Amino acid sequence: MKKIKVTLITGFLGAGKTTFLNNLIKKYPDAKFAVIENEFGEVGIDGSLIVDNQEDIFELANGCICCSLNGELRDVLRNLLNSDKKFDHLLVETTGIADPSAVAAAFIGDPGIASLFELNATVGIVDVKNVIQSIKEDEIAIKQIAFSDFLVFSKCDEVSEETIKQALFQCKLMNPLALTEKNYNGEVVKKDILNLNSFSSSKVEERASFVAGAHSHNHGDTVSYSFTFEGNVDATKLEMWLSVLFQLQFEVIYRFKGIFNIAGESNKVIVQGVRNESKIVIGSEWGVGEQRINRIVIIGKGIKREAIEKKINTILLR
């Protein structure tokens, strides 16, 4: 039986993994994809941000795929194979704080899985705006870069050529073997990503030496809080809250994702925050009969759940 190729997508929080994944799906209209989305939070959001196509999307929420969820990942893979859906490529997007080597291990270490799936490549998305800071603060960011076969430098449209050069230089120090490509606007990458074939077992061993003993698996004091709540959100109050949140607390918030039901708006309103920046975009229309649930995921250090809960009460339209 032909093995199913697997591409792992890694990269620090907010680097642009889901954006990349969406564009990858668009680039190969004839491929039949299955997608595994892993989120470090109680509520899955990324699944709803993936382009609506024929793909089967499996979400692994409430934990990090590289830690406790390895067993669950194995179950999902077995279920995938037992389902009557046909697919020829599996894309796995890990959380922004996952160690990709541990995820790769699930594909290699389990003989049952290894006989059916073939790890093809690990693609690392590097946010050129924030990478230098991330590698200073979090060892996992270094592991992600060091472990990748192919590095996509995202957000090059937002920084100077000098900044891109510095990011490239730092990454090459950590991973001189990686192939690289610059991405200027989250666009489709040129490289034939599905056929990188760079995950030969010898390479895995070579890279495993880098991470051996370092898989301590304590994600430090990084926390992820998820909130779901009903009601109409007041657009002005939401904007005010976001501006305060991102201006004052950017040192503790790595990532903010929200889907909001704004009063008077027939479409979902999506807020994307990465460190001290946020972007509001109009999403798809709320379906007829669809419950208009607001969803927020916040990842960072030292965030107080109660403070956010209190705030949520104030942005609802009374």
Ligand X SMILES: Nc1nc2c(ncn2[C@@H]2O[C@H](COP(=O)(O)OP(=O)(O)OP(=O)(O)O)[C@@H](O)[C@H]2O)c(=O)[nH]1
Footprint of ligand X (CB under 6 A): 11, 13-19, 46, 96, 154-155, 157-158, 183, 185-186, 255, 257, 272, 274, 279
Nearer to ligand X, 113 or 273 (CB): 273
CB of 241 to ligand X, least distance (A): 18
Phi, psi of 98, deg, nearest 5: -90, 150
Minimum gap (Å) between residue 69 Cβ and ligand X: 15
Task: Please tell me the distance from the alpha carbon of residue 131 to that of residue 106, in angstroms, as a whole number.
Answer: 27
Q: How far is the CB of 166 from ligand X (least distance, A)?
A: 17
Q: What is the nearest approach in angstroms of ligand X to the Cβ of residue 318?
A: 30
Nearest distance in Å: CB 158, ligand X: 5
Closest CB to ligand X among residues 19, 101: 19
The answer to whether 48 and 22 are in contact (CB under 8 A) is no
- Closest by CA to 224, choosing from 296, 139, 311, is 296
For tokens 């001290």, the residue is 276
113 or 140: CB nearest ligand X:
140
CB 211 → ligand X: shortest distance, Å? 20
C-alpha span between 40 and 62 (Å, rounded): 5
Query: In Å, what is the CA distance from 278 to each residue of 67, 97, 270, 271, 304?
Result: 29, 20, 10, 7, 20
Cβ proximity to ligand X: between 55 and 113 the closer is 55
Cβ closest to ligand X, residue 117 vs residue 153: 153
Question: To the nearest whole angstrom, how small is the minimum distance from the Cβ of residue 39 to ligand X?
Answer: 7
In 184-276, which ranges are E strands? 222-229, 253-260, 267-274
Which H or E run contains 182?
A: strand 179-182
Q: Which is nearer to ligand X, 21 or 104 (CB)?
A: 21
State the minimum distance, in angstroms, from the CB of residue 93 to ligand X. 7
User: Which element (helix H / strand E) includes 59?
Assistant: strand 56-60
**Distance from C-alpha of 96 to C-alpha of 254, rounded to nearest angstrom:** 10
Coil, helix or strand at residue 282:
strand
At 27, list the tokens.
């680039």
Q: Are 318 and 232 in contact (CB under 8 A)?
A: no
Smaller CB separation from ligand X, 183 or 294: 183
Residues 6+ apart with CB under 8 A from 169: none
Query: Would you say 118 and 5 are in contact if contact means Cβ atoms under 8 Å apart?
Result: yes
- Which CB atom, from 50 or from 113, has the smaller least distance to ligand X? 50
DSSP H or E run through 81: helix 70-82
